A and B are shown apart, each in its own frame.
Chain A
Amino acid sequence: MAKVLVVTSGKGGVGKTTSTAALGAALAQTGKKVAVVDFDVGLRNLDLIMGAERRVVYDLINVVQGDAKLSQALIRDKRLENLHLLPASQTRDKDALTEEGVERVIGELKAEFDWIVCDSPAGIERGATLAMRFADVAVIVTNPEVSSVRDSDRIIGLLDAKTKKAEDGGRVEKHLLVTRYDRARAERGEMLKTDDVIEILSVPLLGVIPESEEVLKASNLGTPVTILSPLSAPGRAYTDAARRLIGDVVPMTIPAERRGLMTKLFGRRAA
């Protein structure tokens, strides 16, 4: 049974696209057939983060409007053969997306893939509401910072009210993904702790991605961090999160960066 997953946050810049690419690749690494779909019309970036920016011919809007077949628009990842990308349009505006059109494309994707991972644009406008509209599962990406938590709360309200599943009397399964987490700062009381964020939002935790240079490096190189450096702290954290999504029970640890020998001997033990 295919699952539609939306990666959403309300606030921009918290790591939705990075997380979509990393989770999509990690799901594909477990053997699932995965399509990642960019809903950010006019500001597409998932193609860039996936390293497929020069291979885009047709996009989501071409498929929605019937100018191209889904198979023509899907880009197969060069590293993982069961990972595909459906890019957003860079030239149209978001009004070119219709609910009926999106529903049809999602339906076609469901016939072919195990997971459809939708990268939502920021905000609570049409693009974001369409990205979440047909979701079965939502990953809410939140930074441990007040404005991000506030916007996540707003998005949670929308997931419970404006999705097809909610309107049909069901519930979108919600998961919290905390990104850019700095454990040292949280321990010093300078940053919201993961437990605070969970308590405020009342959404179960899917994973905690530590702040890491690896993530920026992965974006620069156009390779999802779970492919580029699967053993790095963020790589392991995303892989664990993806395994939890498919139902595996994985103990919740916050992978730490590798530390020097002195820190290992005299500092706090890494989780």
Chain B
Amino acid sequence: MTIFGFLRKRETASAVARDRLQILLSHERGIDGDPNLILALREEILRAIGKHVDIAPDKVRISMRRGDPVSTLEVEVDVPSAGAFRKAA
């Protein structure tokens, strides 16, 4: 608690609920109503990148944002520093 603590808004239960839902649903949202599709995609992308780059599984994040009229599939990959790249065989 700083002296400016009173300026910081205390997080309400509804704000916590909203944030938890948004994170959960961006991962669970499937294409064609199939939530497992995102998981399968993530594994394949990991495997494809893993052939060339050493990468930790948590560095690949896939999420689905639903919008009208278009939904977007977001793939976020944290690529490590240049030293991690293997020479292509």
Contacts and interface: CB of A to CB of B under 8 A. Distances in A.
Contact of A161 (B21, B32, B67): B32
Contact of A150 (B12, B13, B18, B25): B25
A192 interface: yes
Interface residues of A, number: 24
Contacts of B80: none
A146 interface: yes
Nearest to B33: A161
A150 B14 contact: no
Interface residues of B, number: 21
Task: Report whether over half of chain A's contact residues are helix, strand or loop; otherwise say mixed.
Answer: helix
Given A153-B29, A156-B66, A190 B12 contact: yes
A152 to B, nearest CB: 10
A66 interface: no
Interface-central residue, A158, A159, A160, A189, by most chain B CB under 10 Å: A189
A133 B20 CA distance: 31
A158 B22 CA distance: 19
Interface in A144-194: 146, 149-150, 153-154, 156-162, 186, 188-193
Contacts of A189: 12-15
Given A150-B24, A189-B12, A202-B68, A160 B33 contact: yes
B21 A150 contact: yes
A159 B34 CA distance: 11
